Structure 1
Amino acid sequence: MAIPSPHLHLRLRLRLLLLLLLVWYVAASHSSTLSNSSVNPFTAKAALIRYWNRKVPNNYPHPSFFVSKVSPLSALDSATFSSLAAAGDLSARLPALCSAGRLLCGNYSAPVDASLSKSTTPSAFSSYENSNFSNYGTGAGGGADSFASYSPDLNVPIDTFRRYSRDAAGHNDSFTSYAPDGNVVTANFTSYGSSATGGAGSFTSYDDSANVPDLRFTNYEANSNGRSQSFSSYSNEANSGSQSFAGYGKSGNGVPVSFTSYGNESNVIGSGFANYGENGNGATDSFTAYGGNGNVPENTFRSYGSGGNAGSDRFKSYRDQANVGDDSFTSYAKNANGGDAGFENYGKSFNEGSDTFKGYGEGTNPNHQISFKGYFGDNTTFKGYAKSGVSFKNYHNTTSSASLSVAGEKKAAPAANNRWAVESGKFFREKDLTKGTVMPMPDIRDRMPARSFLPRSIASRIPFSASEVQRAFGILPDTAMGKAVADTVAECNRPPSRGETKRCAASAEDVIDFAVEVLGNDVVVRSTESSGGSKGPILIGNVKGINGGKVTKSVSCHQSLFPYLVYYCHSVPKVRVYEADILDVKTKARINHGVAICHLDTSDWSANHGAFVALGGKPGEIEVCHWIFQGDMTWAVAD
């Protein structure tokens, strides 16, 4: 057999080296926003830029906000994980993929820490995270546990407090600033404090500013005796998510519970109270300033207090100044004895919600005292409520309206009614985008967790279904993250509205493809530069209308909550797109550069849309503008 000449090996190596240099040169020459020395031609970022240049050959710079979201995986890692995804075995190397790919991953099943199990030593838990406190404090006598700044600033904290303080006597628990600023927070308090005697539990500033909290209090304090519980500033300023109180205080004796400033200024928080206080004796519950200033709070009270004895419930200033909201009271206090409930200043939502009272106070036991004093709501249904012991005093009071005052050279037009029901500045009119106008800026911060796209070679091999994504990433369906995945998939599969073209993009290439498909290949992607000016007054500087300020088409893309970046991209007809310098009101210094889109045709929008609450008017009567938030984007024709 002939032996290859060493010169042949040398020539092959030289040819390979020249080929690599050629590939590197082509990649670097097309990377207009990145220096030649900074681009590795074999990364996903370099591949995306080459793809972008082929699809959009207009030589516009590739903006850093978009390029920074591209996967940091190397070519070798991309090939390895792509093969695993194709074989359905991605979970075998999941920790490595999450770390190298900059994904939103976590320990989706709470870890077991043997040192915490069945411990009875009173402790202070500060800066703990992702722990399992099952059976902790069981049978404890006296003492106190303090959870201060527990699980702060985590993406996916999962904590389990199953059977915590069960059968304890005089044991106190304090949860202060628990899981603040978390992203996808799951906490399980099953049988917490059950059969305990005396003592107290306090949840203060729990889950504040969390994104998609999922909290479960199942059989919490069931069969307990005289153990008090308070929820103060619970889940304030949280976004989406749900809380479940199933069998809370069931068969308890003299259990006082207070919910003060619960869920205030939250966005679409759902709370379920099923069999809450069932068969309890002398239970006292107080809901003060519950759900105030919230956006679409949804609360379900099913069999709440049923079969109880001498229970007392107070709903004061409940859902005050909220936007819409729906509450359902089914079989509330049914077959209870001597139930005492008061709804005072309940339901003063600025944009009318709905309340349903079905089977309220019904049953054979007498002595109910249920009053609706100052209850506000046209869209309320009372079906099958008790025929005695129920009074409606000053039902449907009216509220006064106010207007927002902003100081400055010019003022954005005030809302016709109920301005404060929607965050100031979230919606505005096209005339407000004029140099010299002072207007409020909403919170435009990117509150989503930091993640990257997956390379298309990997993303395309993961079926876009909730069960498949949950399986691939080891996510339990009954967790906050599992529910977020299911919600994202459901929204992506929703049929488009009239005139809408939509697609969920699971890779950077998918985003570019959709934009080019809708708008053509001479397009530019834009986003608001930063979060500068958020939640304060701003001064509008120079304004530029895209496409000469004419009616145009655009593709807007909004982040969805998923382990990797997924954008909900859609195009709607009849819009104008603007860029504007955002200035400090006092110094006139430039603090941001914003992108805004104005929808000229609102005829298909719901009459309850927050834009009409904030601005007045009806569908089809007015145009509605809003900022493109940090982290989102809009594609439009190049200028």
Structure 2
Amino acid sequence: MSCVTRQSSTSLAFLFLCLPMAKASSRHLVSLLFVLICHAAAFGASTSVNPFTAKAALIRYWNRKVPNNYPHPSFLVSKLSPLSALDSSTFSSLAASGHLSDHLSAFCSAARLLCSSSSYTLSLSSSTPSSFSGYENSNFSNYGTGVGGGADSFANYSSGLNDPVDTFRRYSRDSIAHNDSFASYAGDGNVVTANFTSYGGAATGGAGSFASYDSSSNVPDLRFTNYEAAGNGRDRSFSSYSGEANSGEQSFTGYGKNGNGVTSTFTSYANESNVIGSGFANYGEGGNGATDVFASYGENGNVPENTFRSYGSGGNAGSDRFSSYRDQSNVGDDSFASYAKNANGGGADFDNYGKSFNQGSETFKGYGEGSNPNHEITFKRYFGDNATFKSYAKSGVDFKEYHNSSAAAAPLRSPAANRWAVEPGKFFRERDLATGTAMPMPDIRDRFPPRSFLPRSISGLIPFSAAAVRGVFAIPADTAMGRTVAATVAECERPPSRGETKRCATSAEDVIDFAVTVLGGDVVARSTESAEGSKGPILIGEVKGINGGKVTKSVSCHQSLFPYLVYYCHSVPKVRVYEAEILNVHTKKKINHGVAICHLDTSDWSANHGAFVALGGKPGEIEVCHWIFQGDMTWAVAD
């Protein structure tokens, strides 16, 4: 019997010299110790991984499936489960018996997961105006009911948090001349849920403001239901709301319904945001003298989706203005259904509306219809090829400088100036990967909250369905996290595209198995080392083509938002994979080690893909390259 490593030879020799003098039971114990030492030594002297953990078990599994001598990449090792062997066994048993959720707090902490708060850290019900700075996960139901005068301010509230849930139900209801302000609310947050139900209902006077609300957040879910309904003479402003946010939704249902003289201003709303959806249902319905202004709304956004349903319906002398709305955005869709229907003396002004870089669509159905003919609706410098007007008011509508492709429209900004048409460096050509090339680097930061893989022995016992996952992790379905879980499961269940092989890997073992199934056992996982250089100029240093720079195939894996790590992995044929030193443009010093992939066959890509907007060309005409972002990975054959 011998152990494969020399580090333990001295201690093992001593043990075996003693074996003849030991009793049988002692020899059995020493044999067991020998096996354990060999397991520990298998990691090598340079590895500090405890051999009796879920991480160590995964590395042993990895070594069996991929028996080459390439080091395990640190970015992936850092995401492996920190559970001890005992904890893994305990939580596996709890999952098998259906009792894992009974020990959720301990499980989430030990396994390093992203878990929702099961209860509010703070529940307040007061009538004393206050300043709130630094609170999180709080319930302000019935707060400020009937208060007179004074002001509440929320500064740096829920900032930089993962999965905060804040509730403002019936806040400031029946108040008089009471002000509130939300400044820097939920900035840089992940999976933000905020519920403003019946906020300011029947309030008289006063004003409220949302400044820098939800800025740079990831997957915000914000609901304003019956907000300021039946209010009287109250002003509301949304300034820099959801700026640079990523993939979220806001809903304004029954906002200002039956209000009197309620004023709302949306300035710089959702500017520079990515795939933000906003729904305005029954907004200002039955209101009297309501004034709403949408200025610079959705400017430079990417695929904004806005729905105005029964907006201002049945209102009296309402006024709405859309100025520079969706200006220079990329695609996007707006729907105006039953807008100002049966209203009296409604006014709407669309000034410089829809001047998008890539045209989206607008639908006006039942707009301004009804028995009251006193509308004044003006489309001034309105841009759009894909507008549909159905059941539109027959009078009181004026089209001034309405532009489409058949009209002489004012020139749009050049593609290079549009942030979403070409985020600098997001796509590039293969020839750009050459030593000495200066180029912009896109934002490759990992925007996801930190989480770890679960061992397969646990993840395999959690049914991969939205209902089951929400049940185990106590995630309410109507929160941002609840909706995100459902969206992730739906994407994973989507049939593969033509020629695509895909798998959603719910454990590190699944990732390894899929890569080995597609590419064979001699593979290496690679990722860009860090986010250094993001959003700035870089210089390309030494470049190395994987597999000798030959055409190959790879498996790319992208993070999904879930309580534990889930990767969407898919095969990518006909590519070349490169490693490149990334240098500081001025000092020429190395700041990062990048991994890039070049897709050589783009014939199945959409003609509207951002790569063709950025680089020119059409599907199948050009190759398209991009960096592997921090936190994502590509598997390819070993060199």
In 1, distance between residues paired with 2:248 and 2:215?
A: 12
Match of 1:155 among 127, 137, 162: 162
Contact map agreement 2:415 2:422 (CA 8 A) in 1: no
Give the TM-score normalised by structure 2.
0.94
Distance of aligned partners of 1:549 and 1:365 in 2 relative to their CA distance in 1, 3 Å threshold: same
Say which SS state the counterpart of residue 94 (structure 1) adopts.
helix
Tell whether 2:176 aligns with 1:176.
no
Q: 1:10 Cα shift?
A: 6.6
Contact map agreement 2:329 2:420 (CA 8 A) in 1: no
Tell whether 2:297 aligns with 1:306.
no
Distance of aligned partners of 1:245 and 1:28 in 2 relative to their CA distance in 1, 3 Å threshold: farther
Say which SS state the counterpart of residue 611 (structure 1) adopts.
helix
592-601 vs 194-203, greater mean Cα deviation: 592-601
Deviations 1:443-480 (CA, angstroms, capped at 9, x unpaired): 10000000000011000000000000000000011100
Amino acid at match of 2:381: G
In 1, distance between residues paired with 2:451 and 2:494?
A: 24
In 2, distance between residues paired with 1:346 and 1:108?
A: 43
Contact map agreement 1:206 1:233 (CA 8 A) in 2: yes
Q: How does 1:6-155 map to 2 (within 5 A)?
A: 11-12=24-25, 14-29=27-42, 31=43, 35-36=46-47, 38-110=48-120, 113=123, 116-117=124-125, 119-155=126-162
In 1, distance between residues paired with 2:363 and 2:120?
A: 37
Tell whether 2:583 aligns with 1:583.
yes
Q: How does 1:497-516 map to 2 (within 5 A)?
A: 497-516=497-516
In 2, distance between residues paired with 1:488 and 1:62?
A: 28
In 2, distance between residues paired with 1:514 and 1:124?
A: 53
RMSD, aligned α-carbons? 1.6
Q: Which residue of 1 aligns with 2:194?
A: 187
In 2, distance between residues paired with 1:11 and 1:567?
A: 49
Distance of aligned partners of 1:327 and 1:388 in 2 relative to their CA distance in 1, 3 Å threshold: same
Of all paired residues, the percent bearing the same amino acid is 78
Deviations 1:66-102 (CA, angstroms, capped at 9, x unpaired): 0110000000100010011111111011000100100
In 2, distance between residues paired with 1:335 and 1:313?
A: 15
Q: Which residue of 2 aligns with 1:446?
A: 446
In 2, distance between residues paired with 1:419 and 1:164?
A: 38
Deviations 1:550-599 (CA, angstroms, capped at 9, x unpaired): 11000000000000000000012211111111111111111111111111
Contact map agreement 1:330 1:358 (CA 8 A) in 2: yes
Contact map agreement 1:108 1:476 (CA 8 A) in 2: no
In 2, distance between residues paired with 1:419 and 1:281?
A: 39
40-49 vs 520-529, greater mean Cα deviation: 40-49
Deviations 1:149-170 (CA, angstroms, capped at 9, x unpaired): 0011110111110000000000
Q: Which residue of 1 aligns with 2:225?
A: 218
Q: Which residue of 1 aligns with 2:12?
A: none
In 1, distance between residues paired with 2:116 and 2:211?
A: 26
544-553 vs 193-202, greater mean Cα deviation: 544-553
Deviations 1:313-350 (CA, angstroms, capped at 9, x unpaired): 11111111111111111111111111111111111221
Q: 1:35 Cα shift?
A: 2.7
Deviations 1:108-148 (CA, angstroms, capped at 9, x unpaired): 454562xx11x111100010111100000000000000100
Say which SS state the counterpart of residue 559 (structure 1) adopts.
strand
Q: 1:103 Cα shift?
A: 0.2
313-322 vs 100-109, greater mean Cα deviation: 100-109
Say which SS state the counterpart of residue 421 (structure 1) adopts.
coil
Q: Which residue of 2 aligns with 1:470?
A: 470
In 1, distance between residues paired with 2:352 and 2:278?
A: 20
Contact map agreement 2:211 2:241 (CA 8 A) in 1: yes
Contact map agreement 2:328 2:413 (CA 8 A) in 1: no
Q: Which residue of 2 aligns with 1:394?
A: 401
In 2, distance between residues paired with 1:302 and 1:14?
A: 80
Amino acid at match of 2:461: R
In 1, distance between residues paired with 2:86 and 2:330?
A: 50
Amino acid at match of 1:65: F
Q: 1:294 Cα shift?
A: 1.1
Say which SS state the counterpart of residue 630 (structure 1) adopts.
coil
Q: How does 1:265-304 map to 2 (within 5 A)?
A: 265-304=272-311
In 1, distance between residues paired with 2:415 and 2:376?
A: 38
Tell whether 2:374 aligns with 1:367.
yes
